[in-house]
Amino acid sequence: LRAASRREESVLEDSKYASRGQYAGSKASRRLVSCGLSIGGAAVRCGAVLTLEKKMVCRIRRQRALPVLLFLSSLLAGSLAVNDFLGSSLTWSIDQQFATSATHRNVTFRLRTAWANADVTRCNLVVRENVQLNSPDCTNALVKLRYGALKYHVCNHQTCGPAERVGAPTEIINSFTVLDFVRGKESMYSKTQVLTGLMEVNVTVPLEGIGLLAFFTRSPTPSAAAPRAADNGVTFSLFFVADATADPNQYWISREFPSDVTYLYTPTWVRLCSIGNRNEAGSYDCAVSGEPDALVVRRRIQNYFSPEPSFPLLSVQPRTGAARTTHFKFADYDGHHMVMQHRWCQLSSGTCLATNAGSYQNVTSSAALPAIQNLAGTGTGTGNDIDAVLELQDYTWLELEWPPTPPQLTVYDYSRRQFGRPTFEDEGTVVQTHYTVTSQASACASSAPIPVLVAVDSVTGMALPNNELVCYHSEPCSFNLTVGAMTEPIRVRAASGFARLCTLIEPWRCGCVDSTGGEVHRCTHELGDQELAQDRSGTAVVQCFVASSAGCTSAPVCVKVEVRSHAPRLVAPTPLQMNSIDESGSLIAGSTDVPACLGEPLEFVLNAEDEDPGDMVRLFVTEDLERDRVGFFEESDWVLRYGQDAVCRHSPFEEYGAVRQGDNRFQVDTRVLAFPSLDSSVIARYAENVTFYPSTTTQSVQYRMTFSERNGVYMRQVCSSAFDCREVRVSEDPVLCGTVYDNSRTRWGRWQGRVPTAQLGVHGLGDAAGEKHCWRVRLQAPPTFVTNASGCAPVGSSSTLRYECTPFAENPEQFTDTTGQPQAWRQIALSVNQPFSVAFTAVDPNLEDSVSIFVTEDPGVPPGMRVGRSVCQRRSVQLDPPRRSAQGECGAQPAVESACSKATLNLEWTPTEKDVGTEFRVCVVARDDSGLCAGRQERATSRGWYGEEQCMRLVVIQPKFEWGSGFVDELLAPAPTVLSAYVGCAMSFNVSLVETTFFGTNISSPGYGVAIQRAAAVDDAGYLGLRLEAEGKLRVTVDEGDGSGVSLVAVRPQLGSEGHTVSFCFTTGITDPEDVPFAGGVCAGEAGEFGQGYKPCAGHEDCASGRCTPTCVHVKVEKCRYCVPDGDTLNTVMAGYGIETNWMRVWTLNADTTAALGTTCTRHLDCEARADVAIDNPELILRGEGGVGKRILWAGLLYTPVMDEAVEALGCRFRTSLKSMRAANPNLEVAPGAVVAAGQEMCFIACNNRGVLATDALAGCL
């Protein structure tokens, strides 16, 4: 096309370009050429490839310029064939204020028809223009004769019989808008002059009308016996029953078909409601008030849109052996479920359906053509056509939401949660589409390849799944069409009836460009702004294409583009991280774990927003109703709907008691419609508790798990003999699911979201819904120490103390946390050298956790205690709570194996004598390996949650005793007694006590067994005695005895100890296996705790009298008196003691009775007790009565000076030497110049040896 400069009329020199309407002017102007061809009075739209012999003049159309008709003198008028009917479909939509306003009772019909051999000489049939009725060349009768009419009845009863119709039927001539017109063999079909049209008719329904019965018809009426007969040159493909006498009702369920109507296919029933109609069965009054009226059968309109089929009414059948790839495309803006059935299919030679005849198949938005027998041969003409009728039926929702009561348990599938299945009518709207499949054009050689046209995603480059694409309003949307390499030029254009939707961008503009063969070709199709406007949300744009090459045409490829609103979405601070893991260790898509830590408040905030201008949003969070454990919120959706009887009782758990806060918090039920049983249509309004918010919405979930509420956790307090007392159990982790919805359904009046499922987990009910996100509330609690009902009594013999579980004080179940609770700690009494072991056992309620037990550093362990390793104990756990079976019965869940949620720690110890009387505290703590509560609870870390701290007190028992009353009374009370001892005699006495050690009821033992032992010195006499023992001048032995508490003490004075007073202190000690001394004294006169003797004491404060008497025995070694054994002469005996005297003096000193002499042998001495004279043997031989014995004899004189005297003076007076005085008085200082203090007792042994006196410088005494 060459345009003269600045002229609006141009000469189309190139017929090829002229026929396509291409313009070579400025691209910036974006002006298109509208060419009209007047061929014998018929207007032909540009787009066909024509061979033109003469120049055509085409006026450039500016904006809305009218087409210019171009006449070709070489084409004769009236040379075209008569019309052939190819197909049709009738759909409708209802004004959404129909039931609430008398001025909006409108129904819009859409009648799409296709014709072959169309006579375009009249009626100005131009693409995108309407048929011009009432013109001389286009009368109503002519249009009705050639293109038929839409006829409908207004009915006031559902049967719509002759008596239930309002007035006469209305007939509307098919004055359609031309969608597409292609001429002759250039049409790529075997048909010539294929015409497709669409008529939209708006019908106003009177107030009493409850339905419309509409159908496509024509006049005059053909006979039923000859349904394909020609009439006035117009051939209609009619759909009649095979048997003219058969019941016509079989083609319309429960609908009486008007007997006076000739029909092409099953009529369309538009179900409506009346305003102020009579109340009788079969008549429905619109529920304009919203509430159902018991006196009037009220019902809202449930179906505002009929199903919308979109596919070519004429397509080409591939040659024999080729498979069809065409898909029918469907839409239902009510969101209803659809089924499809091929009602009828006919060849000139008979039936053509190979499969699926007479049976419905479920469809959503598309379905493949059924197997149709291939046409025989090629060529043109109707003789090889396939006439088929496709029936599409939707199912109207009776009630989208849950029924008010659950079905009987006998048929109730609890395991699959079928309680949420939406209900629908058995009958819905039926739309039948009559279409034709024709053979390849005669130009298609039998050996020529047929083009294969593929729809491709323009982003991924992959074939569109099912030839469907989702695009969002106000955003660019396009897809590609590709054709494989062909040897001949390829042409791609819109399929019949879809030309007006073809808006293509570079490099191709569909239907306008040929290309050379030998390469793969791509065409990009982009939707226009009007098709993608926001108010078109929820619509479906379908475009069908065909490709041809060398006279062969592909099967049509139909691409469906769903125009959607932008779904609202959850945004920060909503927890959206993917951290939920299933049992196999795989991440769960769309799920986030949120920990609920024992005792700590849980609150997580959910925030949502919508980017579409003007949209409102709501957020609803509920339990995952596909799970068995429900009741997380205070107002449980499940319990509210079906009551407690339909829920398995979850004892010992109570309900969780969580609450919603914030926006839309009052929506607690998944039922969101105001009156679902009355209105579940696409315009159904929401309940009052469902609130939408502009652009954004926020809601929070709050929950706190505590032992006191038992809301998800409890501690086992009914203890069995097993070690399960204090075991903590948590309920099944609740799962919450939240979805954010907009108001696009009610805003635009079309179903926007997903079709409802049986579960209705996403209950958007037509609103655009964001992706459902779930939150698994991980019920978390730390490990606790378990025991048995007794608090773990020890087992084993008295010699070995063993605890096989965690030791507790009495009533262990009363403590939920023993940290800092001394009353929960068990005190264990141990004896020295008694082996002791304990197995601390901890259990974690979270079976997937691993538990470890540790000994705390403070206070640590006693010296020598051995700490083992924390060891996992595999266990089998019966889960709580019970679940409902498929038969509706509540029962226990199967047991689950847990590898390390239970652990033990062994401690072993044997106390030694160093530990006697000491108390040790040992504490342990258990930790799991879960970091979920880190930062939420003070004892929870990233490495795990440290549970309670449990302690035990280990007391190594101090021996207890009471001093024997005989010992105390004789030697200690009321004042210490001084016992006399003599050199040569052994003095002995008994020290006695009674053991009162109590080991408690946990130890069966008679006691330690005690023995008397020497204690440390407490005074000078004691230290003197130790010195004399060290010097060999005093010998002391203590017989510890057999542990009975009585010991014999023997004191044997030696020469050099005379005159000394010493003391010996005693204590007690255990006998097994080593002695462990304990210092002490006695409260003289005070009975002990057990009344077995006198009370022991460690200090004066222990005695009521305020005086603690040391248990020390005092002994004085007497001077001048010695124990002399029998059987020897006096001289021999005296010489043995080193006494320088003679027998005469000894005899003289002891010449009296023992009583008179004061030498009576007491019971503590080993001498012979006798009362007669000390020496009675004239032979001077000492013999006892029973043999050899001992006697106490005087060896000198005792003198006590009344004043201080010098030793020399005393020696002179008693005629003795210093040496003799020194030997007789080892306790005194006897030396020249020494002075004997007044009152100091001295022993003098007379000596007549003057030589000795001279040597001691006592010459003055001579």
Looking from the CA of 1212 toward its CB, the CA atoms found within 13 Å total: 11
What average pLDDT does this structure show over 714-718?
Answer: 85
Is a pLDDT exceeding 60 seen at residue 23?
no
Task: Give residue 895's pLDDT band: very low, low, confident or very high (50, 70, 90).
Answer: confident
CA separation for the pair 734, 166 (Å, rounded): 59
Estimate to the nearest angstrom the gap between the alpha carbon of 828 and the chain centroid: 42
Which residue type does 1115 have? V
Taking each continuous run of H as one helix and of E as one strand, the counts in the chain are: 12, 78
CA separation for the pair 648, 142 (Å, rounded): 73
Q: What pLDDT, on a 0 to 100 scale, did the predictor assign at position 229?
A: 31
Highest mean pLDDT pick, 149-163, 180-194, 1106-1120: 1106-1120
**Strand, helix or coil at 44?**
strand
Residue 578 tokens read as: 């993917």
Is residue 408 within 8 A of residue 418, CB to CB? The reply is: no
Q: What pLDDT, on a 0 to 100 scale, did the predictor assign at position 940?
A: 96
Element (H, E) at 1143: helix 1143-1149
Q: What pLDDT, on a 0 to 100 scale, did the predictor assign at position 108?
A: 97
**Is the model more confident about 896 or about 283?**
896
CA separation for the pair 605, 660 (Å, rounded): 10
Q: Looking up tokens 């199903």, which residue turns up?
A: 307
CA separation for the pair 764, 768 (Å, rounded): 7
Q: What pLDDT, on a 0 to 100 scale, did the predictor assign at position 437?
A: 81
Of the listed ranges 11-15, 276-280, 455-459, 607-611, the least confidently predicted one is 11-15
Is a pLDDT exceeding 90 seen at residue 857?
yes
CA separation for the pair 170, 318 (Å, rounded): 41
Which residue type does 616 have? M
Residue 891 tokens read as: 């029962």
The count of residues in the chain is 1262
Element (H, E) at 1130: helix 1130-1136
CA separation for the pair 623, 609 (Å, rounded): 22
Is residue 507 within 8 A of residue 524, CB to CB? The reply is: yes
Q: What pLDDT, on a 0 to 100 scale, did the predictor assign at position 322?
A: 47
Burial annotation 307-346 (CB, 10 A radius, 16+ → b, else e): bbbbbbbbbbbbbeeeebbbbbbbbbbbbbbbbbbbbbbb
**Is the model more confident about 493 or about 964?**
964
Element (H, E) at 965: helix 965-971
What average pLDDT does this structure show over 729-745?
Answer: 91
Task: Give residue 1113's pLDDT band: very low, low, confident or very high (50, 70, 90).
Answer: very high
CA dist list (Å): 459 to 469, 478, 484, 669: 11, 9, 19, 41
Residue 134 tokens read as: 């009432």
**Is the model more confident about 1176 or about 336?**
336
**Strand, helix or coil at 491?**
strand
Burial annotation 1158-1175 (CB, 10 A radius, 16+ → b, else e): ebbbeebbebbebeeebb
Cα 742-746-750 angle, rounded to 5 deg: 100
CA separation for the pair 971, 1114 (Å, rounded): 8
778-806 per-position pLDDT tens digit: 999 999 999 988 888 888 766 788 999 99
What average pLDDT does this structure show over 869-890?
Answer: 76
CA separation for the pair 362, 26 (Å, rounded): 51
Task: Give residue 822's pLDDT band: very low, low, confident or very high (50, 70, 90).
Answer: very high
Which residue type does 533 have? A
Is residue 33 within 8 A of residue 50, CB to CB? The reply is: no
Instruction: Write the DSSP symbol of residue 83.
Output: P
**Preceding amide of 822 cis, omega within 30:** no
Which residue type does 73 have? S
For residue 983, list its beta bridge partners: 1122
Question: Could you count the other beta carbons within 10 Å of the beta carbon of residue 589?
Answer: 10
Q: What pLDDT, on a 0 to 100 scale, did the predictor assign at position 447?
A: 79
Burial annotation 195-216 (CB, 10 A radius, 16+ → b, else e): bbbbbebebebeebbbbbbbbb
Task: Give residue 529's pLDDT band: very low, low, confident or very high (50, 70, 90).
Answer: confident
Q: What pLDDT, on a 0 to 100 scale, did the predictor assign at position 378?
A: 36
Is a pLDDT exceeding 80 seen at residue 1136?
no
CA separation for the pair 925, 817 (Å, rounded): 11
**Preceding amide of 694 cis, omega within 30:** no
Closest CA to 722 of 607, 804, 657: 804
Task: Give residue 1260's pLDDT band: very low, low, confident or very high (50, 70, 90).
Answer: low
For residue 203, list its beta bridge partners: 107
- pTM comes to 0.70
CA separation for the pair 1240, 963 (Å, rounded): 36
Residue 279 tokens read as: 């109340």
Q: What pLDDT, on a 0 to 100 scale, did the predictor assign at position 588?
A: 93
DSSP 1000-1042: -TT---S---EEEEE----SHHHHHHHHHHHTTSEEEEEE-TT
Residue 1071 tokens read as: 């006998």
Q: Looking up tokens 């032979």, which residue turns up?
A: 1179
Residue 1110 tokens read as: 């040391």
Residue 447 tokens read as: 């050996």
Question: Could you count the other beta carbons within 10 Å of the beta carbon of residue 1213?
Answer: 12
Instruction: Write the DSSP symbol of residue 411.
Output: G
CA separation for the pair 61, 431 (Å, rounded): 39
What average pLDDT does this structure show over 67-71?
Answer: 25
Is residue 1007 within 8 A of residue 1000, CB to CB? The reply is: no
1045-1061 per-position pLDDT tens digit: 788 899 999 999 999 99
First to last CA, the chain: 182
Task: Give residue 417's pLDDT band: very low, low, confident or very high (50, 70, 90).
Answer: very low
CA separation for the pair 444, 450 (Å, rounded): 9
Highest mean pLDDT pick, 35-39, 336-340, 766-770: 766-770
Phi, psi of 171 (to 5 degrees): -120, 130
Q: What pLDDT, on a 0 to 100 scale, did the predictor assign at position 1152?
A: 85
